[in-house]
């Protein structure tokens, strides 16, 4: 997809997705070569990160401990999530290629069936791709710069690997989450286009043309809009076919991203709790530690980074559900307006399928990706933070000195 080429290149370089058909040729030798090349970014990332992990155990003197990228509580799930994401990218590369092919097929069928023009849709997805790249790089560089300032000792080269062992997974996992959001956005936009096609071909609404043009811009007249008194009964079969394609794509996307999403959310959840605890601890002690302001800035950068991830993923899943329900409403209206028994029966079948099998995204059936999860996460974080702060206050009181400096974020000896 040329409109998302910038983000696709970034994901390929990080080993998160296959190259696509553009590098595959007709002859078997070129196909084998391209398939082999697709392994190199993922394998390269695994080898590099293995070296970074080895550096954590290279030395345990005080300098190395202070220079560690994060304490073990957040470093362990962070590293595990990164490794599993890369391993699953290797394991599921064929499935990833099938998803990319299905995206193309879905667009072709929507274009052939309903004459949909994708100019505006492609512009929006292109801008979203650039935004994802900008946010990923900006967040990654901010966290990397603050971590470098706070943790790296240039006299000890191993501290650079400590630094990479923390920053590399954060950046990669953010790109992975944005990749998932991109897949969700594709299905959401196609569901919206399907809704407009239903209005234009089955409901016989007078404003169908205006609705199409509002979605597709000046080229909206490419839609095969029916007159108000004319409804195309054969369009119901085409709508059922597109619904089946969207269902199939949703299942594949869940299978490709679901397991890794559990690990990435768990890693981010733990990191946010730990960093919020550090921020509260620094505030309680009046920024008494050296470079406390820098450390708090680092914590805020991480919390903001993960907040962006949580919101984009969960909001994307919520919007997919909303557009799916809107499509069902339009189909219900079309059924009520029709006097054709065969058409009504076909629409009933489509609605029954859409009700039983909704366009929902989930993390391997562990949780559903929508905004209801955000409320649960905020509640859990608040509870854990209260417990951590109470433990810290009790520890300070037992030590007899409530002004004890807070533990530095980067110490693995804490």
pLDDT digit string, tens, across residues 308-326? 999 999 999 999 999 999 9
Average pLDDT over residues 280-301: 81
Average pLDDT over residues 221-225: 46
Q: How far apart are the first and last CA of the chain?
A: 48
What is the token pair recorded at 408?
Answer: 């530095």
Asked if residue 328 has pLDDT above 80, the reply is yes
Domain count, the chain: 1
Asked if residue 70 has pLDDT above 50, the reply is no
pLDDT confidence band for 237 (50 / 70 / 90): confident
3-state SS, 219-286, equals HHHHCCCCCCCCCCCCHHHHHHHHHHHHHHHHHHHHHHHHHHHHHHHHHHHHHHHHHHHHHHHHHHCC
Residue 405 lies in a domain: no
The sign of the dihedral angle between the CA atoms of 215, 217, 218, 222 is negative
Residue 409 lies in a domain: no
Average pLDDT over residues 209-234: 49
Asked if residue 32 has pLDDT above 80, the reply is no
Residue 411 lies in a domain: no
Average pLDDT over residues 263-279: 89
Average pLDDT over residues 229-246: 78
Asked if residue 337 has pLDDT above 50, the reply is yes
Residue 200 lies in a domain: yes
Asked if residue 84 has pLDDT above 60, the reply is yes
pLDDT tens per residue across span 347-367: 889 899 999 888 999 988 888
| 360 DSSP assignment | -
Asked if residue 394 has pLDDT above 90, the reply is no
Task: Considering only residues 14 and 377, tell me which one the structure prediction assigns the higher pLDDT.
Answer: 377
Residue 413 lies in a domain: no
Q: Is the pTM of this model over 0.85?
A: no
Residue 376 lies in a domain: yes
pLDDT tens per residue across span 36-53: 777 777 788 788 777 777
What is the token pair recorded at 156?
Answer: 């000890």
Q: Which domain holds residue 85?
A: 2-399
Residue 404 lies in a domain: no
Residue 254 lies in a domain: yes
The sign of the dihedral angle between the CA atoms of 195, 198, 200, 205 is negative
pLDDT tens per residue across span 109-163: 888 887 777 777 778 888 888 888 889 889 888 888 888 877 777 777 777 777 8
Closest listed residue to residue 155, CA positions, set 52, 64, 70: 64
């Amino acid at each position: 997809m040329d409109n998302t080429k910038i983000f696709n290149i970034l994901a390929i370089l990080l080993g998160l997705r296959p190259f696509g058909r553009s590098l595959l040729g007709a002859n078997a030798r070129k196909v084998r070569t391209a398939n082999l090349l697709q392994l190199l970014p993922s394998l390269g990332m695994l080898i590099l990160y293995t070296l970074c992990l080895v550096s954590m155990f290279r030395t345990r003197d005080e300098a190395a401990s202070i220079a560690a990228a994060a304490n073990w509580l957040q470093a362990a799930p962070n590293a595990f999530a990164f490794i599993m994401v890369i391993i699953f990218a290797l394991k599921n590369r064929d499935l990833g290629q099938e998803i990319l092919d299905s995206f193309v097929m879905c667009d072709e069928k929507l274009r052939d069936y309903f004459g949909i023009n994708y100019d505006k849709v492609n512009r929006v997805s292109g801008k979203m791709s650039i935004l994802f790249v900008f946010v990923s790089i900006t967040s990654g560089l901010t966290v990397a710069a603050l971590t470098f300032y706070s943790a790296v000792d240039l006299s000890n080269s191993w501290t650079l690997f400590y630094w990479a062992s923390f920053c590399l997974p954060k950046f990669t996992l953010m790109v992975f989450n944005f990749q998932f959001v991109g897949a969700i956005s594709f299905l959401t936009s196609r569901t919206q286009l399907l809704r407009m096609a239903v209005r234009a071909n089955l409901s016989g609404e007078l404003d169908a043309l205006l609705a199409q043009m509002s979605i597709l811009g000046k080229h909206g007249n490419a839609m095969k809009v029916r007159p108000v008194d004319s409804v195309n009964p054969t369009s119901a079969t085409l709508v059922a076919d597109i619904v089946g394609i969207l269902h199939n794509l949703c299942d594949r996307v869940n299978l490709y991203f679901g397991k890794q999403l559990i690990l990435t959310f768990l890693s981010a959840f733990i990191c946010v709790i730990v960093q919020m605890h550090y921020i509260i601890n620094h505030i309680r002690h009046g920024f008494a530690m050296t470079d406390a302001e820098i450390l708090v800035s680092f914590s805020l950068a991480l919390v903001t980074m993960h907040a962006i991830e949580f919101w984009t993923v969960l909001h994307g899943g919520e919007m997919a559900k909303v557009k799916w329900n809107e499509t069902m409403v339009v189909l219900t209206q079309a059924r009520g307006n029709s006097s054709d028994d065969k058409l009504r029966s076909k629409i009933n079948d489509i609605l029954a399928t859409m009700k039983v099998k909704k366009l929902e995204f989930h993390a391997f059936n562990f949780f559903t990706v929508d905004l209801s999860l955000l409320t649960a996460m905020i509640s859990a974080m608040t509870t854990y933070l209260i417990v951590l702060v109470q433990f810290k206050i009790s520890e300070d009181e037992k030590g007899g000195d409530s002004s004890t400096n807070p533990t530095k974020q980067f110490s693995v000896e804490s």
